[in-house]
Amino acid sequence: MREIYEQLGISSQVYDFGREIEETLKDRFAEFDKIAEYNQMKVLLAMQKNKVSEECFHSSSGYGYSDYGRDTLEKVYADAFHTEACLVRPQIACGTHALAIALFGNLRPGDEMLSPAGKPYDTLEEVIGIRPSKGSLAEYGITYRQVDLLADGTFDYENIKKAINDKTRLVAIQRSKGYQTRPSFSVKQIGELIAFVKGIKPDVICMVDNCYGEFVDTIEPSDVGADMMVGSLIKNPGGGLAPIGGYIAGTKECVENASYRMTCPGLGMEVGATLGVNRSFYQGFFLAPMVTKGALKGAVFAANVYERLGFAVVPNSTEPRQDIIQAVTLGTPEGVIAFCKGIQAAAPVDSYVDPEPWDMPGYDSQVIMAAGAFVQGSSIELSADGPMKPPYAVYFQGGLTWEHAKLGILMSLQKLVDAGILSKEKLV
């Protein structure tokens, strides 16, 4: 085994360091195995209940009227996530697009959106209008308010209560940390917040950005009162096979409202050709619990490796997992770049290139992204990225298999050693 890793560029010292840590994680890995097994049965049950057949894999073109496979898949998603309805479409370009559709579909001029978890993910700032942008919610007369988290990363219930007013129409809860070093939220925490908000204003729509969180637990935000749950198919639920797409799951009214924004008023969910992606969507969703399990193992391995070496990690090596993202604060731009070079070097695609920081659309600073993926930008595949600004943290996620995630972390460590950022003595 050591020989094959050496052929891939991993020194025996780095390999031994990683193997020692891996041996301590057997109990954690067994927990992930149990969660994945439960979720696998949940997805399988939804597929069997809706009588998925070979006919579901056929393609549609043009308007996409009466696409049996598309309509059945949306029932499968809705049953697996325990919601009344769901949109699962290749016309949804990414997670940010899915969130924008959900927001624009359910907010009207004069409404106010509240973020009780502080600043949202960078790409949503222009959607909302925090950073001026053409076509933002702000341009349509929709106002925005946020309540920052407390110092310990928990919800500030006192100020959330003060922030909710007659105009508050939608509360948007971001489950994952985004480009922040705060903890991600558990489904239980999200449920408690939703109950609190509904207790103040029952008709408020509670929307959860569920990106990176699907199948991490045996329950989803939709099981604890979320009216809408939104995510990307090139993250967890696509299982690495979906080539594009996003989903919006929730109440029938919320999903219908979103569908009129996705296409246009009067057409909604009735149109939207699948153009041959149905089989990949179905198979990806079927595999998603197992793929997510591999990513979780990689994230915990990363936390243990880098915490042992003295770096700040969120979550830490022993905390429960709420998503597949592992933040590592490297403290310098050189450290972030070296880490990302390691992830790229471990990839099956474009392993021979070096990632560089660039002015990525939607961000307020340069961003570096490493992802030698089969699907461009797929962050359920082995990837790492981060903004080039203090505290210079990198965000690692994905790995279609645990073994590949493991190689990625070892390679990131190797690049830090090779660049002289980390001394070999620390690996002893």
Which pLDDT value is given to residue 35?
98
pLDDT in tens, 108-138: 999 999 999 999 988 899 999 999 899 999 9
The domains of the chain are located at: 2-39+289-427, 40-285
Domain 2-39+289-427 has CATH 3.30.1330.10: no
Report, as ranges of residue numbers, the positions in the chain whose pLDDT lies below 50: none
Does the pTM of the predicted model rise above 0.85?
yes
What fold characterizes domain 40-285? Aspartate Aminotransferase; domain 2 (3.40.640)
Q: What is the CA 24 to chain-centroid distance, rounded?
A: 27
* C-alpha–C-alpha distance, residues 148 and 145, integer Å: 10
Contacts of 22 (CB under 8 A, 6+ apart): 301, 406
Task: Return d(Cα 193, Cα 269) in angstroms, integer.
Answer: 31
40-285 and 2-39+289-427 share a CATH fold: no
Phi-psi region of 302 (alpha: psi -120 to 50; beta: other; left: phi over 0): alpha
The DSSP H or E segment spanning 255 is helix 252-262
Say if residue 348 is preceded by a cis peptide, omega within 30 of 0: no
Please give the Cα distance from 302 to 307 (Å, whole number). 8
Torsional sign, CA 272, 278, 282, 283: negative
8 Å CB contact between 348 and 374: yes
Under 8 Å between Cβ of 290 and 246: no
